[in-house]
Structure formats: C-alpha cells, structure tokens
Amino acid sequence: MSFLILSYPARVETFRKVFARDFPDLVFAGSLDEIDPVDVRYLMAWTFPDDLAAKFPNLELILSVGAGIDQMTGVEIPAGAKLVRMVEDGVTSLVRDYVVMSVLGLHRDLPAFLDQQRQEIWKARDFVWADQRRIGILGLGELGMAAVNALRPFGFKLSGWSRSLKSIEGVDCFAGDEGLKAMLAETDITVCLLPLTDETRNILNAEFFDMLPKGAGLVHAGRGGHLDQEALLDALDSGQLSGAFIDVTNPEPLPAGHRLWSHPGIVLTPHIAGHSRPETAAQATIENIRRHLAGENLKGSVNPALGY
C-alpha cells in the first residue's frame, strides 16, 4: 500500500509525521521523486494532472485536500477509483466561523458603517432584531449544518435549500426550483455553501437576486463559479441588495482594478473561509483509508455523476 500527497511542504511534513506515528505500515511519499506512480494506491492533492489515469493507473482513492472536488471536472480518473473530498473539523469550524461573522456583519449593517467610517460620517442606522431576521442557507451538507447549528443561538429565523428535501428541527427546508423561489422570497440574508456542479454554476445571478426582498444581503463562501459578479454589482448599485461578504471570485486572484475590490457594499476576503487543518486532516485521511481497507463507507465520498 502506498500513499502520495502533493501539497505545500509544511502540510506534507505534518502528514508524514502523523502517518509515521499512526499508520507506519503504509508507504508514505511527499513527492513524485519518492515513489513510482504505478505503485500509488492513494493520491491526495488539490490540483490533479490531466493525465491522472495514465500516470496513476492503480489508484483506488483520489482524495482532495479541501472540501471541494470541482477541480476534478474534466479529469479522467482510473476505472474503479473513488473520489473523496475532505471532511474534517478544521474546514468545518473555519467555514462555520466565517458564516457567523458574515451573517452578523450584514445583520448589523457593517458594510454601510465601514463606508461611513471611510467618509468620516457619524450616523446611526436603523436595525432589525435577530428574531425578525430571516437567514436562508444554500446547501445543507456538513458545512451547511455547521452553519445552521452555529446560528441557532442568535434567534434568527432559519431556512435551508438542498437538492433533495430534508427535515431539520427548527429549519424551514426547501428543495427544487419552486422551493428555491419560495425560500428566497422570505430570505433577508442568503448564505451560499453549495458545491459547484453543472446545476449550481452561475446560480447567483440577476434572476436569483430579483427573487430576494429588496435590501437583502449575500454571504458567498461556495465557489467563484456560482456567482455572476456583474449581476451582483448591478444588484448592489440598484439597492436590490444592501451588502455582501464575498470570499470566492472568478478568476482568483481577483484582477487589479475590478469593482469587487472597491464597491462600498462588499466585504471581500481572499478565499479564506475554509482551510483544512493538517493535523486533523491527516487523521481524517488515515481513518478513510482504514475504512476503505475494511470495505466500509467513506466519509466525504463523492458521486461523480452529481459532483459532490
């Protein structure tokens, strides 16, 4: 058995130490110089080569270092190999924190106050009580549920939308196109945590923003491909949206001079909402390999037909 991780040196060395301690029987490699690709059974990376199937013909598991797997779109995988996204506490806790920060920032009108600060304007603004604020979460998987549970104590009215209808205590759940329309009509702050698939690409577009109540807010921590950036700017300029926290763009890095950098209604962060923690990610990876060897279900297993 052999495991190859292609990542930055600090992550590789953390994985190497954890694997040596907890899974010493597995051959570990941190670069292609350390192993013959034909011998690799388990491959972890973020960016995978286009000739993956030809270079690693005996792969059994293809593991993403992050929570997403959309970077595999168009990459041919070896027959029989399984795709696995990262599910571990580090990613989940960081995304949870980012969502709470952003929702509270929009709830208390932070983008407008930041703009007033830049203009040296000392002026109070109207506010809404938390139990009158409606939060709609797109995506009710691991990350979406972490966000739901973190937002509960504030008293917000919570709703959620997913591909298939779910039942969650204290959350109004919706599914399908009609369900999305119904939820958005009653949503003050939308949180996007969707995977990027053919169905969700460009979902945050002009039609989407028009379905929201005037003055709504957006928290986008999904993927850059979800968002029509010009439609967002138009919605902010018209007042249809009052503010947005944006963590992902297309392309990344965002080009100099783009209006997302300077729009007063946007708080922009450089794709930092979630990041796997090397120590816990290594433990989660070891657990999944052991599950694979035992013929058990894998955490984060991806259905290639669905894209998540």
Q: Which residues are catalytic?
A: 223, 271
**Phi, psi for residue 183 in degrees, rounded to 5:** -70, -45
User: What's 8-41 look like in SS3?
Assistant: CHHHHHHHHHHHHHHCCCCEEECCHHHCCHHHCC
173 forms bridges with which residues in the sheet? 160
Q: DSSP letters of 71-105? A: GGTT----TT-EEE----HHHHHHHHHHHHHHHHH
Distance between CA atoms of residues 126 and 271, nearest Å: 31
Task: Judge contact between 113 and 145, C-beta under 8 A.
Answer: no
216 forms bridges with which residues in the sheet? 241
List the structure tokens of 75.
């990459």
